[in-house]
Amino acid sequence: MFIVADSLFRRSPVQFVFGWRLQLTIAEWRELSFGMAALMSVIAALNFVVASLSTFLWVNFKLFAIPFVLSFGVVLLARRIQKARFEATVLRQVEARMPPRP
């Protein structure tokens, strides 16, 4: 859904929800959308595996593990975007200090 909506509407659902709070570039929004799609796919696969084991385990997984996995995944995505921004900033600063090429 994230990938299809991003392609059709030229604006990701994540940007629609969090755009008022986060100031990201288009590439960062796209990376966040693809990351959220991958995270939701992992959660769906884990949910399917746990549901096939036992109902008791599945209920506990839904209550405790999914919020943890979702929170952990969002933190990892945020750190990845923050790291990419930092690297881009450092690269721009280094290029600005270098003398022009002859």
Residue 90 lies in domain:
2-97
Residue 48 is predicted with a pLDDT of: 92
On whether residue 17 sits in a domain, the answer given is: yes
Alpha-carbon dihedral 96, 98, 99, 101, rounded to 10 degrees: -100
Is-contact 35 18, C-beta < 8 A?
Answer: no
Q: Is residue 10 in a domain? A: yes
Q: What pTM value is reported for the model? A: 0.66
Total domains, the chain? 1
Which tops the pLDDT comparison, 37 or 23? 37
Question: Per residue in 60-96, pLDDT tens?
Answer: 888 888 888 888 877 887 788 788 878 878 888 887 7
**Domain presence at residue 15:** yes
Q: Report yes or no on 6 lying in a domain.
A: yes
Structural domain includes residue 27: yes
- The pLDDT-based confidence of 45 (bands split at 50, 70, 90) is very high
Residue 102 lies in a domain: no
| pLDDT reported for residue 37 | 83
CB 12 within 8 A of CB 2: yes
Q: How many CA atoms, within 13 angstroms, populate the side-chain half-sphere of residue 75? A: 6
* 26 within some domain: yes
Judge whether 37 and 2 are in contact, CB under 8 Å.
Answer: yes
